[in-house]
Structure 1
Amino acid sequence: MRTTVAVRNISKMLDHFSQYNPSPLSIKQFIDFGRNPCERTSFTFLRKELPVRLANIMKEIHLLPENLLRTPSANLVNQWYAQSFKDLLKFKDLEVSDKILTQYDTHSLFPIRVSLAMAFSRFCESLIMIRNRHSDTVQTMAQGVLELKENYPVDQQTENSIQYFLDRLYMSRISIRMLINQHTLLFGTDLNVTSNSRHVGSIDPNCDVVSIVRDAYENARFLCDQYYLASPELQLFEHNRNMPNAPIQVVYVPSHLYHMLFELFKNSMRAVMEFHGDKETVPPVVANISLGNEDVCIKVSDIGGGIARSQIELLFNYMYSTAPQPSKSASPTVPLAGYGYGLPLSRLYARYLQGDLVLQSCEGFGTDAVVYLKALSSEANELLPVFNKTSSRFYKTTIPAGDWSNNVRHMTTGTHHRLRQPQLS
């Protein structure tokens, strides 16, 4: 009986928090707050904002096809989100005074009072636990989709719904991890940077783009050398429009940028090595980095044979990959190679802060991949999925056919139109 009541209460709170839109932050707001951090302010914001973001995506999890939700892996992801939501609800009704935090518990006749320091410490520990719990969300949900396809027929509408959902699930995950990382790095005991570091949480106010490009190239090159016993060289060019001799820097999360570039270099190197076969020398991979008034652009170009124009959008479909799929016997922390998630996830990282990742290819010659970042931190706002009637309708409505003036491909594979820029309600 108590379990039934608890489930009913959780469902009620899920309905409550899903009525609110997430509050997008700009990277400038992250930086400004991180330079003058206040743990109480962060606690007050996150204990409401995190349940809102979780509730919005959990509502969409519940709209997925029953056959997918019943797979062991997708069910596990659903359980993780439910548990994390419950963990955060413990901090919902706390009243904060100067030094005391009061909790009103329906199972107790008297309020429970604890020090702010203890409450903040417990909150930080809960955030770290939630982050660790969801560390394998991408791989586990990918495995769930594979389990669905192995056991049930999947029509085009179901595939479209899954593609739509995964874009939103993983974008939500990026945003939630960003909030958690900022709080735990600024206030937690897992702080792993020195007090002299220029980083503000996970953000580098002077992120050296060239340095990240070189790091991503060198690590991708190491893998390429191991597999092919050779690798393309890197040619790197900088173009700073306003200050030609100054380094190109941007306010950004270095790990996000590295993730994108490492994936692009891996793809380019593989294409070059396989296209040119056993030739003694192979053409280099070229990186052009430019800084303009609005954008920082990083173009990675290769002469790796290119791909047909009709195939480009397939590269951003989660279940499309030219690498072998992971075996069923793989450990829970299997690598992403084989799931086909490298490029789709990289594009989400770019779009998370209003950037983008675009591929242009000349079939028979090579491919250009361009990463766009916002040059101004005040314009780099979070792009967040919002649960509403429009999004819920997508899971039930058949996609109409398009014509030359109404390209429906963007309705099924794009991201910008679906991840609305929300306003506070």
Structure 2
Amino acid sequence: MPPPHQYAAKEIWNLSIQELIRFGKPPLSKEAILKSARFTQNELPIRLARRVAAFQKLPYIVGLNPHVQAVYQLYYETFETLRAFPPIETLEQEREYTQSLEQQIKNLSQVIPQMAQGFLECKKYMRPAETRVFLNDLINSRIGLRLIGEQHVALHETNEDYIGVVHTRLQPAKLLQNSAAYVHDLCEINYGSAPDFIINGDTETRVHYVPVHLEYMACELLKNCFRATTEFGLKRHAAGRLPPIEITIARGAQDISLRFRDQGGGISSKDRPHIFEFSYTTVRNEAEEEENDDTMFSVTSKLAMQAGVGGPIGKSDAVE
């Protein structure tokens, strides 16, 4: 079989929602499910090989880090497992491949926090720009891998409003309502107080989208909004209710925009250039300042202690 670098040199498909749903709505015909399997079987080894090649180009001392090494090994084993399957010609082969694929997707589901920790430990051995490029590529690739793999697996299930993992009638307002309510409760538990939220604009809009991606992006943005608004108000001993978080949905001719607005004091000029950097968070410094704070509003809460990867991952989700 060709080595990883030969796979890595091949071209990959540019993913889009339309590309994901091109095989049709389940239940699929034998021909359609085999076409989806062949596309998946051809595409995933190329994407995995590119990550393997990127790991192999890291500085030697970085590659020795146990977190980095563990993730590299996981990608290499996944690459070897999936490329070992013979070309899919029958439904029996397709079922066997899909079972293995489902397991490989699960194996790669938690690699980003581990890689972020590994690079945090190795930050003195790589320039920030190099780290940023590597992790951005890793996240973008991971999103593509999961979308392609999960889409093929999900095409075996029949759901009126879905084509695979793509919701064909997703109403962002409802998803945002649930996400905001969840973060509101989380904030109230951790701080003893939480602002209300308002959802306005084109609230009846429906779109084709992957719900779990929108939910992740929304929750990361909302956690920032709720935390900033609550802490800003509490630091100033604000009386009465906190100002609400406002979420606006705007439908364009070919796209949809979501705007999240809060009154949490804004992003400082010092922090602004770094908000999409990995392992960068304002929470750590605030926690250090208040390490002796024994009140229920201490920022050592689970909500406040972010890993510094939510913003970059959310941005990659949006771009993908």
Which bracket does the TM-score occupy, shorter chain normalised?
A: 0.7 to 0.9
Tell me the distance in 2 between the aligned counterparts of 1:26 and 1:95: 24
Matched-pair identity in %:
27
Please give the alpha-carbon distance, in whole angstroms, between the structure 1 residues aligned to 2:266 and 2:33.
50
Cα distance between partner residues in 2 of 1:76 and 1:53: 18
- Count, aligned residues: 297
Q: Which has the larger radius of gyration?
A: 1
Q: In structure 2, how many angstroms separate the alpha carbons of the residues matched to 1:26 and 1:281?
A: 43
Contact 2:199 2:247 in 1 (8 A): yes
- Quick check: 2:51–2:75 contact (8 Å CA) kept in 1? no
- Encode CA deviations 1:122-178: one digit per residue, 9 max, x unaligned: 1011111111111210111112112224xxx346xx221011110010110001000
Provide the secondary structure at the position in 2 that maps to 1:268. helix
User: Which has the larger displacement, 285-294 or 60-69?
Assistant: 60-69
Tell me if the contact between 2:199 and 2:248 (Cα under 8 Å) persists in the aligned partners. yes
Gaps of 5+ in 2: 286-301
- 1:82 and 2:76 equivalent? yes
- Matching residue of 2:172: 209
1:341 aligns with 2:305: no
Whole-angstrom distance in 2 between the partners of 1:271 and 1:72 = 35
Corresponding position: 1:42 with 2:16: no
Post-superposition Cα deviations, 1:76-131, rounded to whole Å, max 9, x if no partner, equal 0000011001101212x4363xxxxxxxxxxxxxxxxxxx2331121011111111
Residues 365-406 of structure 1, C-alpha deviation per residue, up to 9 Å, x if partnerless? xxxxxxxxxxxxxxxxxxxxxxxxxxxxxxxxxxxxxxxxxx
Q: Which residue of 1 aligns with 2:207?
A: 250
Distance in 2 between residues matched to 1:314 and 1:196, nearest whole Å: 41
- Aligned in 2, Cα 1:138/1:312: closer, same or farther, shift over 3 Å? same
The change in CA–CA distance for 1:71 and 1:30 in structure 2 (over 3 A counts) is: same
Distance 2:162 2:79 in 1: 30
Residue 101 of structure 2: aligned partner: 127
Cα gap change, 1:148 to 1:88, in 2 (>3 Å): same
Partner AA of 1:342 in structure 2 = G
Contact 2:227/2:304 (<8 A) preserved: no
1:48/1:342 CA distance change after superposition, 3 Å: same
The equivalent residue for 2:242 is 282
CA distance in 1, matches of 2:246, 2:313: 23
Q: Which residue is equivalent to 1:33?
A: 23
CA contact (8 A) 1:256 1:349 kept: yes
Q: Which amino acid aligns with 2:317?
A: Y
Partner of 1:184: 153
Look up the match of 1:410.
none
Distance in 2 of aligned mates of 1:336 and 1:258:
19
Matched, 1:219 2:182: yes
- Tell me the TM-score normalised to structure 2 length: 0.87
Deviations 1:23-58 (A, max 9, x none): 123211322323263221112111111001111222
Does the aligned pair in 2 maintain the 1:139–1:336 contact within 8 Å? no
What root-mean-square deviation, in Å, do the aligned CA atoms of Structure 1 and Structure 2 show?
2.1
Structure 1 counterpart of 2:210, one-letter code: V
Tell me the amino acid that sits aligned with residue 17 of structure 1. Answer: Y
Q: Which residue of 2 aligns with 1:173?
A: 142
Write out per-residue CA displacement over residues 191-223 of structure 1, whole angstroms, 9 at most, x where no aligned residue: 5xxx44311111111110101111110111111
Q: What's 1:54 paired with?
A: 48
Cα gap change, 1:347/1:95 in structure 2, threshold over 3 Å: closer, same or farther?
A: closer
Secondary structure of the residue aligned to 1:276 is: helix
Match of 2:226 in 1: 269
Residue aligning to 2:122: 148
Q: In the alignment, which residue of structure 2 is the partner of 1:236?
A: 199
Answer yes or no: is the 8 Å Cα contact 2:17–2:209 preserved in 1.
yes
Task: Tell me by how many angstroms 1:14 deviates.
Answer: 0.7
How far has the Cα of 1:230 moved from its partner? 1.4
Q: Which amino acid aligns with 2:57?
A: L
State TM-score, norm by structure 1: 0.66
Assess if the C-alpha contact under 8 Å between 2:13 and 2:43 holds in 1: yes
In 2, are the aligned partners of 1:336 and 1:342 still within 8 Å (CA)?
A: no
SS at match of 1:32: coil
Cα pair distance change 1:95/1:208, threshold 3 Å: closer
Letter in 1 for 2:274: L
What displacement does 1:13 show? 2.2
Give the 3-state SS of the residue equivalent to 1:307 in structure 2: coil
Shift of 1:260: 0.5
Aligned letter for 2:118?
A: G
**Aligned equivalents of 2:160 and 2:112: distance in 1?**
31
Please tell me whether the aligned partners of residues 283 and 303 of structure 1 are also in contact (alpha carbons under 8 angstroms). Answer: yes
CA contact (8 A) 1:220 1:265 kept: yes
Q: Which ranges of 4 or more aligned residues in structure 1 deviate by more than 4 Å?
A: 334-337
Structure 1 unaligned regions, length at least 5: 1-8, 97-115, 240-245, 326-333, 353-425
Cα distance in 1 for residues equivalent to 2:13 and 2:185: 41
Change (3 A) 1:270 1:18: same
Separation of aligned partners in 1, 2:115 and 2:187 = 28
Q: Distance in 1 between matches of 2:265 and 2:44?
A: 45
Looking at structure 2, the residues matched to 321 and 234 of structure 1 have their Cα atoms a distance apart, in angstroms, of 24
CA distance in 1, matches of 2:304, 2:122: 18
- CA spacing shift, 1:182–1:231, aligned 2, 3 Å: same
Shift of 1:310: 4.5
Q: Which structure features the higher share of helix residues?
A: 2
**How big is the shift at 1:227?**
0.6
